[in-house]
Amino acid sequence: MDSSNNWKKLRTLTKSVIASPILVIVKLNPIYYLRKLKLLLSAFFHGGQVVLGKNVRLNQPVYFMGLGKLVLEDQVSLGYWLGGVTPAIMLQPRNTNSQILIAKGTTIMNGCQFIACILISIGKNCRIGSNCVIYDTDFHEKAPTERDKASIPKSVRLGDNVWLGSNVIILKGVEIGTDAVVGAGAVVTKSVPSGAIVGGNPAKILGTVYA
């Protein structure tokens, strides 16, 4: 190995760092690496697991809670940079067999909260507005004498290219078809067919994106 060559490379790199510190910081994007490291460590200490694809971007703090598995596929983007204090994203696969799966190219905005006791699956290239909530459980039974008992969870699935407006709530057992649009503030208690536009509380079909 030519040690003089290595020294030349090191001197060149040092000069470039001194000459262009901003360029180096931009290229390295240290804040993204720190957020990814924090997410992985959080999963480790909670006893869960995080799987990160390529070019996953954590633009805001993302908190992991639970014993289950979180999968962020390639080019998933979490959060959007805004001045001042903005709410973090919370992803909570609660139990050892719980999973939150977010497919390639999906964008999730600030303040979203997903809690899975079995499965929350989000398809490719979805757009999830700020402060959206997805639960696959009611957390406890509704009968007054059974409030201390855990309810039976039902998986939630979003197809590809689904668009959720801000402050949408999706409850357990719901499936939302490919290309569907859910209006801001909607509470979705029943499954939505592909391409449907829904809104309201409870959400009702208002139209279709295919018209």
Active site residues: 140
Integer CA distances (angstroms), 16 to 20, 30, 88, in order: 6, 18, 35
The distance from CA 78 to its chain's CA centroid, rounded to whole angstroms, is: 6
From the list 74, 73, 77, the residue with the least C-alpha distance to 35 is 77
Distance CA 31, CA 192 (A): 38
Long-range pairs for 32-36: beta carbons < 8 A, 24 or more residues apart = 32/57, 32/58, 35/61, 35/62
Residue 13 Ramachandran class (φ > 0 left, ψ -120 to 50 alpha, else beta)? alpha
- Extract the tokens encoding 29: 């994007």
3-state class (DSSP) for residue 5? helix
